[in-house]
């Protein structure tokens, strides 16, 4: 069964990006948001991104791509979807509640339910449904239209056929590069990346080195495209903290524990690019 009708729940930065790459692949996309205002903001985010892509020659007709996306405020509009990708806030309770609702709404027995979570165990989400064999993680990276990588994360109960269908969708349909990860906190990329970012934050917090020197050291000395503190701002400090907490909860290793400075910045609403201020001001 080809995955041609795609649903996305959430139209924030990640959800909008996922919807965009699906629409650019000529798929029929339904995006569900929590309310009319959020749906309007999501549509505006999509329109801005597609117009930018059109100006750069990456999209022939932004309006035609946007026409393949329908915004909704009702999960019932996902009933006929072949694949639904959850891209809501990184909160376990909220995701569990959503997966239970999606299980009841999505009609096709062979339809896949996927999460874009960057840290929450897929097994936990799968057991909120009556179809754990058809649940897996499909984790995109920000910005979704630009970065080519997707992590596929089957749980212990996910069928091989489910993973194969998802891999074909990611590779042959979306043109992304898929890597396979075990269902453990952080998966592949964040299990490597988050401790690296946390080490940079601790270095700044302790006064060992200044912000600009930390980032310049990795950019100019290790050929990184951007420094770890700038990267944390791009990811979002709240997301960085949430992933760190998930890693620490699972492994209890000190290197995964969020530094106090990170926690205080999140409490203050200094979340990085999304709020205009984090380690840098935007």
Return the pLDDT at 161: 98
Say whether pLDDT at 266 is over 80: yes
State pLDDT tens for residues 54-81. Answer: 999 999 999 999 999 999 999 999 999 9
Tell me the CATH number for domain 5-180.
Answer: 3.40.50.720
Indicate the domain borders of the chain. 5-180, 190-267
Residues with a known catalytic role: 118, 139, 151, 190
Single pTM value for the model = 0.91
Let me know if the fold of 5-180 is the same as that of 190-267: no
Say whether pLDDT at 199 is over 80: yes
Average pLDDT over residues 204-230: 98
Rounded Cα–Cα distance for residues 31 and 20 (Å) = 10
Work out the pLDDT band at 119, boundaries 50, 70, 90. Answer: confident
> In CATH, which of 3.40.1000.10, 2.40.128.280, 3.40.390.10, 1.10.1040.10 is domain 190-267?
1.10.1040.10
């Amino acid at each position: 069964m080809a995955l041609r009708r795609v649903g996305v729940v959430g139209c924030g930065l990640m959800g909008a990006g996922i919807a965009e790459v699906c629409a650019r692949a000529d798929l029929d996309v339904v995006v569900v948001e929590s309310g009319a205002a959020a749906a309007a903001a999501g549509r505006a985010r999509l329109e801005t991104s597609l117009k930018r892509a059109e100006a750069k020659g990456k999209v022939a007709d932004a309006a035609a791509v946007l026409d393949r996306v329908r915004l909704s405020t009702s999960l019932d509009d996902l009933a006929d979807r072949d694949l639904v990708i959850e891209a809501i806030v990184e909160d376990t309770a909220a995701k569990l509640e959503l997966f239970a609702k999606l299980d009841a709404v999505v009609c096709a027995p062979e339809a896949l339910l996927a999460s874009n979570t960057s840290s929450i165990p897929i097994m936990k989400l799968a057991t909120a449904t009556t179809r754990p064999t058809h649940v897996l993680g499909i984790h995109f990276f920000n910005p979704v239209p630009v970065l080519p990588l997707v992590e596929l994360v089957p749980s212990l109960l996910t069928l091989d056929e489910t993973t194969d269908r998802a891999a074909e969708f990611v590779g042959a349909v979306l043109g992304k590069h898929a890597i396979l990860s075990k269902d453990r906190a952080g998966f592949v990329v964040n299990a490597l990346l988050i401790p690296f970012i946390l080490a940079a934050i601790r270095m700044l917090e302790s006064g060992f080195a200044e912000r600009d020197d930390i980032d310049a050291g990795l950019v100019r000395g290790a050929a990184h495209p951007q420094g770890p503190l700038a990267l944390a701002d791009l990811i979002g400090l709240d997301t960085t903290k949430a992933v760190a907490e998930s890693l620490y909860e699972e492994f209890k290793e000190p290197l995964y524990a969020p530094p106090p400075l990170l926690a205080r910045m999140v409490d203050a609403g200094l979340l990085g690019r999304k709020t205009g201020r984090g380690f840098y001001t935007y």
